[in-house]
Amino acid sequence: DTAVSQTPKYLVTQMGNDKSIKCEQNLGHDTMYWYKQDSKKFLKIMFSYNNKELIINETVPNRFSPKSPDKAHLNLHINSLELGDSAVYFCASRRSSMNTEAFFGQGTRLTVV
Amino acid sequence: SQKIEQNSEALNIQEGKTATLTCNYTNYSPAYLQWYRQDPGRGPVFLLLIRENEKEKRKERLKVTFDTTLKQSLFHITASQPADSATYLCALSRSGGSYIPTFGRGTSLIVHP
């Protein structure tokens, strides 16, 4: 069983479109994250979310929004896509009561054309 | 601002030798430091975690040191194998529920047979 799964794995779309990336974890974790990895392989935090608080990296445009229908899911919605949004997006989760590792999904490669 | 620095140049070593990767940080007081491995097209996978009050941690062929005075961690792979070839990321975090792992850019390791 995949611990953290993202869909789709690849997403090609045109500028100006709105798209969503789904993330699900079956580990019973209470905290989930979205990271963006650019072409230089830098893994940058976008959002941290648990059932108590949402922490937003202030550099993330408000076209990006996380939505959590339940504790096992944290989806990423992106409005009005721009060329610069092209990157690999990773979802991750961890149990906040234990200061241990984060588990990552396999990533979604987003290409905006 | 916080900075986490890892060698941007790839580290090339011969099979059987010990690989040593470096992670330096500034303007940060981490409670935890973690090392992850990332293969092409995959999400990061956790390897080791070391706490600020620990000097050294080992797991099989892996060893991590953490010097909070030098603000540096060293990651060693002994008896390296071609299968160890990957990008290795260090991540720092503070303690607590809002712990968000902050990553360095990673160092690519290439082990030649």
C-alpha span between B88 and B105 (Å, rounded): 9
Longest dimension (CA), chain B: 44
A102 touches chain B (CB under 8 A): yes
Nearest Cα neighbor of A63 from A50, A49, A46, A48 is: A46
Dihedral of alpha carbons B42, B43, B46, B52, sign: positive
Q: Do B95 and A99 count as a contact with CB atoms less than 8 A apart?
A: yes
State percent of chain A over pLDDT 70: 96
Across A35-46, average pLDDT = 91
Task: Output the DSSP codes for B3-43.
Answer: EEEE--SPEEEETTSPEEEEEEEES---SEEEEEEE-TTS-
Across A34-45, average pLDDT = 91
- Band of the pLDDT at A54, cuts 50, 70, 90? confident
Q: What is the pLDDT of residue A46?
A: 94
Q: Torsions phi, psi of B76, nearest 5?
A: -115, 140
Q: What is the pLDDT of residue B2?
A: 74
Nearest Cα neighbor of B101 from B20, B41, B44 is: B44
Mention every residue, 6+ apart, whose C-beta is less than 8 A from residue A113. Answer: A12, A13, A14, A15, A83
C-alpha span between A63 and A50 (Å, rounded): 21
C-alpha span between B111 and B13 (Å, rounded): 5
Residue B95 has pLDDT above 60, yes or no: yes
A34 touches chain B (CB under 8 A): no
- Band of the pLDDT at B97, cuts 50, 70, 90? low
Nearest Cα neighbor of A95 from A19, A13, A26, A20 is: A26
CB-nearest to B101 from A40, A55, A102 is A102
Q: Which residues of A touch B100 (CB under 8 A)?
A: 33, 45, 48, 55
CB-nearest to A101 from B49, B97, B98 is B49
Q: Do A48 and B89 count as a contact with CB atoms less than 8 A apart?
A: no
Q: What is the pLDDT of residue A99?
A: 66
pLDDT tens for residues B25-79?
A: 988 888 889 999 999 999 999 999 999 899 999 999 999 999 999 999 999 999 9
B45: closest CA of chain A, how far (Å): 7
C-alpha span between B94 and A12 (Å, rounded): 36
pLDDT tens for residues A63-84?
A: 999 999 888 999 999 999 999 9
